[in-house]
Amino acid sequence: MAEEEGNVTSENLAANGEDNGPQVGMLSQYVKDLSVENPNAPDSFGWEVQPQIDVQVNIQVNAVNEEVHEVGMTLAVKAEGDKGVQFNVELEYATLFGIRNVPEEQSHPFLFGEAPRLMFPFARRVIADAVRDAGYPPLVLEPIDFNALYVQQRQQAEQMADQQPAGEA
């Protein structure tokens, strides 16, 4: 059994004493872009029909360097009814994640599934505040299961790859 030194076990220490165990951490979060459109105000404040809310989500990952990745979440929320658009909010929210000693087969699901799950509550608050500041009741988005979406998209990509005809020789 390995001796523990704080959170580091001697199994994870390299010969030089450096920790070579897997490490993941959230380094920074920030709004990259926020757009709020309120095209029919002030008339839309009096509309009594409940609007249809359309939510679109996109996740992007960019390597900043070998150990730091920027995970970007784009949320587009549009409220539209019979009389037109009440509001349209687009948010690009990003987080820097430090990842060390994590193999690709584990870091990819983390960056596209778990990282967005960790980011979402913060992005949801920005959306709620933006909608409130546009003059409407705050819009609190339902939680999204990013891990399930990741698995679903991987399965779809594998199915599409299997259906592709083989190349010509």
Fold of 23-157: Bacterial Protein-export protein SecB (3.10.420)
Helix (H, G, I), strand (E, B) or coil at 89: strand
> Which has more confidence, 57 or 168?
57
C-alpha torsion sign, points 116, 121, 122, 124 = positive
pLDDT at res. 162: 79
pLDDT at res. 165: 67
56-109, pLDDT tens digit by residue?
A: 999 999 999 999 999 999 999 999 999 999 999 999 999 999 999 999 889 999
Residue type, 134: A
Global pTM value: 0.79
